[in-house]
Structure 1
Amino acid sequence: MNAPNTIVTGAQLWAPEPSKDTALAIRDGRIVAVGSDAEILALAGPDTARIDAAGAAVLPGFHDAHIHAQAGGLGLLGCDLDAAHSVAGYSELISDFAATSDAEWIVGAGWFGDAFPGGLPTRELLDELIPDRPAVFTSHDAHGVWVNTRALELAGVDRDTADPPAGRIVRDANGDATGMLFDTAGELVTRLIPPHREADLRAALLAAQDRLFSLGITAWHDAILGAYLTLPDCLPSYLDTLADGSLRARVTGSMWWPPSAGPEYLPEMRDRLRAASDAGFPVRSVKIMQDGICENCTAALLEPYRGVHPESRGDSVISPEDLKTITAALDAEGISVHFHGVGDRAVRECLDAVAYARERNGAGSRHQIAHLDVVDPADFARFARLGVTANLQALWARNDQEILERKFPLLGEDRARFHFPFGSLHRSGAHLAMGSDWPVTSPDPLWGLHTACTRTAPTADVHALNAESREPAQPEERLDVATAIRAYTLGAAEASRVADTVGSLEPGKYADLVFLTGPVDGPHSFDRLRVARTVLGGETVFLR
C-alpha cells in the first residue's frame, strides 16, 4: 500500500462509538486505515505529515441535521441581535446598524421574547429607533416578526386585516396591530422587503461555512431550500458556490413545500427537485411545516392550551388527509419528507402520514420529524416501527426563562413532563439525528451535546440568564455521551442518506475529522472543550 499523506496518532477516537484504536491514516482525502499508534506509524513514509492528538478526542466531523446556513450567514453580516438578550442590548444593536445603513428597509433577526415586558416586543420601540424607514426583525425561533408602524402601513395591515391561515396578527385592546406578527402573518410584511443582492447572499453562505468549520461542522442539511418569511431562497447560492468550488462542506437539503399548498402542488415540486438535480445539487428531501410553535399557540396539540381560549389547540398547516396523500406520493418516488412537528398532534399527524405511505408503498424512504417539543408517549414506539428519524435540536432542552414563564404555563404539567423527550425516544428504539436550527439557536455542536447529556445550559451561553437553566430539565430525558455523539455524526449522515461516505471513522470514508482540545471524559466535558482543528477530506480547514 502507498504511504498515507497524513497520519493522526495519540487520539481518543470516537468512531462515533468509543474506540480502542488511537490512530488513523489518510490518503487522497479518505481514511485508509484505523488502528493503534504503532500500526499506523508503521505505514508512514518520509513525506507523510504527522498530527499528534496528544490524548485529545478526535471524532467524525460534526453533521448538522437541521440548519439554515445562509440565514445564519446573513445574521453574521447584518443586524444580528444574537449577541444580546435585553431591550437595552437590542436597542443599541439596532440603532448602531441603522445609523450605518442606507438600506431602504432595516432588516435583522435574533431577538428573544422574554427580554421584553409581557413577553413580546411592540412597534413603539422600533418606531423610536427607526422612525422613517420600515423595520422588520425576525425572532430567534423564526416564528415571529417584529415590525414598526411604517412597515405595517406599507403592508396595509390595520384593525380590519384578517389573520391569514396558520398565522396571527397580535392586537392591542383597541384591535390595532401591536407590531408582532406570528408565522404566516409575517409574510404580510416580509413579502415587501426588497430582495437581497446575489453577491450578498453568496457572501453570507460562505461566511456561514467559515463559522461552521470553526465549530467542527463539516456537513449539514439545509432544512429550507426556498423562501420563508425574511429568509431568501438559498438554493441559488448553493448552486453558485457548488459550481465554482467555493462551497466545500458536504451539503444536502430539503426543498420547501409552501404551507398553503395541497396535493395539487406535487407536479411543481417534482419539477423543482429535477431542476436542482440538473443544476448540480441533487435534492432527495422535501420540507413540510405541519405546525408552528407552542409559545405562539400555533403548535398543533391533542388537547387545548392552558390559560387561553378553552378550545385553542393550534393549527395543522396541512390537513391530515392531504398530508397523507403528499407523503405517500413523495415516498413512492424515493423522496424523504423532513417534517416540522412541534406539538403532539402535529407529530402524530406526521407519523400517521408515514404509516399511510408504508401501507401503500411498503418499505420506503427514511422520513424524519424535527423539533419534537411535545410527543405523546403513545407515539414513542412508532418512530422505530415506522423507521422515522427523530431530528433533535438539543440546545432547546433546558429550563430557560422563556420556557418556564411562557411555554410551560400553556402546556401544563402533564405535557411538560415530556418536553423534548430525547431519552424516551431513544429507549423506544427511535433513530436519532441532531441539528441546531441555526440561526434559531447557536450552531455549536459542543453546546448541543452538553445540553443533550445534562439538560442544562452551557456556561457561556448569553441567553441562559436564569438560575433554573443551570438545573437539569426533565433529567430522565438525558442522553448518554455515546448516543449523543452518534446523533450529531453518523445519525445525521444516515438521515441525510450520505452515511456511505461520511459520519464515521472507518476506511473508505472521507477524512472529515474534528479534533477537540482534550478528551471526552463525561457529559460535562462538552462545556469545557473547544474545537482545536477541523479536517475536511484530509485538509485542515480550521485550526485554533
Structure 2
Amino acid sequence: MADDASAPAPELTLARVRLGAGGPLVRLRVANGVITHVVPDTEAGAGGEQVLDLDGRVLLPGLWDAHVHLAEWASARHRLDLAGTTSARAVADLVRDRAGAPGDGTVLYGYGFRDGLWPDAPHKELLDAVSPDRPIALVSADLHAAWFNSACLALVGKGDHPTGLIREHEAHEVLSALPATPTEVLDGWIEDACRAAAARGVTGVIDFQFGDTVGDWERRSAQFRPAVRVSAAVYPSHLDTAVKRGLRTGDEVGARGALVRVGPLKLFTDGSLNTRTALCHDPYPGLEHTDGAHGIEQTSPDELVRLMRHAAAHGIEPAVHAIGDHANTVALDAFEAVRCRGRIEHAQLLSPQDLPRFAQLGVVAGVQPRHATDDRDVADRHWAGRTDRAFAYADLLAAGARLEFGSDAPVSPLDPWLAVAAAVSRTDDERPAWHPEQRLAVPDALVAAARGRRLVRVGDPADLVVVDVDPLDADADTLRTMPVHATMTNGRWTHGPY
C-alpha cells in the first residue's frame, strides 16, 4: 500500500521566488495543500518555519494537460515508434527490424504512423512480407486507424479483411479484441507516465482513455498516489452506471481524495483529419461524389442532444469531440439546445459564424496546439482554401472563448511546453509560422496551459511549477525544452530535488 492519503501535506515557505512570468520576488507559504500567504520577499518569515530558497526562479500556476489518453500514452512509451515515417514501405522496414524470430507469437505493437501524405497505402501484404507469423498491430497517430498483418487479423476474427487497414469504430473494436496488457503492468506504466508528466510541470490531466476510466482510477488510487490530479472521463457505455451511483463531474472518487475526480462525458460527432473522416461542410479534394466526401457523422444530432441532456440532468458535463467545421456546428447546436456547461474537444476547423458561440454558450474549447504544427501539411492538402480558419486559437480568444490546452497524448507527447511553444510560434521546424495571425502571446498561452488559471493567489490549491527561465524571456526552442526545476501538486513535491 502506498503512503497515507489522509496525512496532511507539509508546511513550508518558498523564498526568493518570482511570482509569475515577469513577476516580483516574493515569499509564499503553503500549508495543508493550500497557498496561505504571499508577501514581498523583504518581509521576514516566522521563526522555525521550513524555508526553501528558490534563488529567483519563476513560480507559475501548475500546468494541466486537458486531453490525454493515459493508458494509450503509457503503452506507446513501450511500443515501436512510427513517428516520422514517410511511407508504408518505411514502416514495414521498421517492423522487419523489430519483429524478431518467426516463432515469436506475441503481438508486436507499433504506434504513430500518419498516412495522410504517404505515396503508398498501408496494406496487410506489406506487413506479411516482413512478418508472416508474428501478429503485428500498428496504431495511427490520431488513434483513428489500425493496420494489422494477416496473423493479427486472424487473431481478432477478421482474417477476410481485404487490406488490414481498419478505421474508426471498427479499429477500436479490433484493438480491444487483442490480448490485454496485464493490469498490474499497465498500472505501473501509468504511474511512471504520471511521474514523467510531473517532471514537465504537469499537476493535472483530463484522462479520456476509452473504457471504465472512473473504475480504473478508483482501483489505481488504492495502489498509489498519482503524481498528478486526474479527472476521469465517462463514456456512454458507462453513463448509466455513473448515474446510478450518483456521480457528478467534479466528484471525488477513489482513495486519494481530491486527486481523482469524475470528469466529463466523452461524445463524438466525427472522425479525424488524417483519416479524412472529420465532418466538413465542403468535400475533401479527390473524394467528391463518394460516400465519404464530407467525412463521417459518428453520432446523429438528435442522439447527441439526447445523451447530453441525460448526462447534464444528472450533473455530468459533456465533452464533445468535433474536428471538422460541420461537426463543430453540430456540437454547438447541441449545447445551445441543452443549455449545459461543457467542452468541445479539438475544434480544429471552424466556420466564422461559430467563433463567438463558444463564449455565448459558455463552452470551453479544449485544443491541442501541437496538432496545428504536426498537421499543417495534411491540412494544406485536405482543407485547401480553408486553413485560415483551422486551429484558429487567436480568433477564438478574441471572440471571448476559454481555451484549455491538451496534448491528446499519445497523438502528441504529454508535455505542456510543446503546446505553449506551438501556440506562440505556430511552427516546430525551420519553416516560417503557419498562419501567424493565429499565434498567441506567451501570457495567454500559459493561462490556457494552466486550465484558465492566470495568477498564483492566496486560497488556491498549492499546485505549482518552478521553472529556471522566465517564459517571457524565452524563445520558441527554450519554451519547448523549458527547464522545470520543481513541481508541486496539492502541497506535495511531485518532481524536484526536495
Residue 341 in structure 1 maps to residue 349 in structure 2? no
Matched, 1:107 2:109: yes
Moved more, 506-515 or 423-432: 506-515
SS in 2 for 1:127: helix
Q: Deviations over 1:342-387 (max 9, x none)?
A: 00111111111110012xxxxx4x2100111101111000000000
Change in Cα spacing, 1:521 to 1:128, as seen in structure 2 (3 Å) is same
Q: Does structure 2 retain, via aligned residues, the 8 Å contact 1:328–1:354?
A: no
- Output the amino acid matched with 2:390: H
- Per the TM alignment, residue 79 of structure 1 is displaced from its structure 2 partner at its CA by 1.5
The whole-number CA distance in structure 1 between the counterparts of 2:37 and 2:461 is 12
Q: Decide which of 212, 235, 238 is 2:217's aligned counterpart.
A: 238
What is the RMSD of the two structures over their aligned residues, measured on CA atoms? 2.9
Report the Cα distance in structure 2 between the residues aligned to 1:35 and 1:94, rounded to whole angstroms.
58
TM-score (norm 1): 0.80
Distance 1:329 1:192, change over 3 A: closer
* Partner SS state of residue 191, structure 2: helix
Write the deviation string for residues 461-519 of structure 1: whole angstroms up to 9, x where unpaired.
Answer: xxx5xx5xx3111111111111111111142x7xxxxxxxxx85222223222111211
Alignment of 1:39-438 (within 5 A): 39=43, 42-54=44-56, 56-76=57-77, 78-81=78-81, 85=85, 94-95=95-96, 97-99=98-100, 104-113=106-115, 116-118=118-120, 120-157=121-158, 177-187=162-172, 189-226=174-211, 234-257=213-236, 267-268=240-241, 270-271=243-244, 274=247, 282-310=261-289, 312-358=293-339, 364=340, 366-398=341-373, 400=374, 403-404=376-377, 406-413=378-385, 415-438=386-409
Which residue of 488, 513, 516 corresponds with 2:464? 513
- Structure 1 contact 64–220 (Cα < 8 Å) conserved: yes
Q: CA deviation at 1:184?
A: 1.6
How far off is 1:270 after superposition? 2.4
Q: What is the identity, as a one-letter code, of the residue corresponding to 1:12?
A: R
Give the share of equivalent positions with the same residue, in percent. Answer: 28
How many residues matched? 476
- Equivalent AA in structure 2 for residue 318 of structure 1: T
* Distance of 1:49 and 1:107 partners within structure 2: 48
Are the counterparts in 2 of residues 81 and 90 from structure 1 also a CA contact under 8 Å?
no
Q: Which amino acid aligns with 1:62?
A: L
**Which letter maps to 2:411?**
V
Separation of aligned partners in 2, 1:528 and 1:321: 45
Offset of 1:91 from its aligned partner? 5.5
Amino acid at match of 2:16: G
Q: How many Å separate the matches in 1 of 2:405 and 2:443?
A: 13
CA contact (8 A) 1:66 1:221 kept: yes
In 2, the alpha carbon distance for the partners of 1:66 and 1:266 equals 19
TM-score normalized with structure 2 length: 0.87
1:472 aligned to 433, 436, 461, which one? 433
Cα displacement string for residues 116-140 of structure 1 (whole angstroms, at most 9, x for unaligned residues):
533x433233223322122111111
Deviation at 1:418, TM superposition (A): 0.8
Question: After the TM superposition, which segments of 4 or more aligned residues of structure 1 sit over 6 Å from their partners?
Answer: 275-278
Question: Unaligned 5+ residue runs, structure 2?
Answer: 1-9
How far does the alpha carbon of each residue in 1:7-33 deviate from its partner, in whole angstroms, 9 at most, with x for none? 22333322xx76445331222332111
Between the aligned partners of 2:492 and 2:91, the Cα distance in structure 1 is: 39
Who is 2:14 aligned against? 8
Question: What amino acid is the match of 2:310?
Answer: A
Instruction: State the distance in 2 between where 1:204 and 1:456 align.
Output: 31
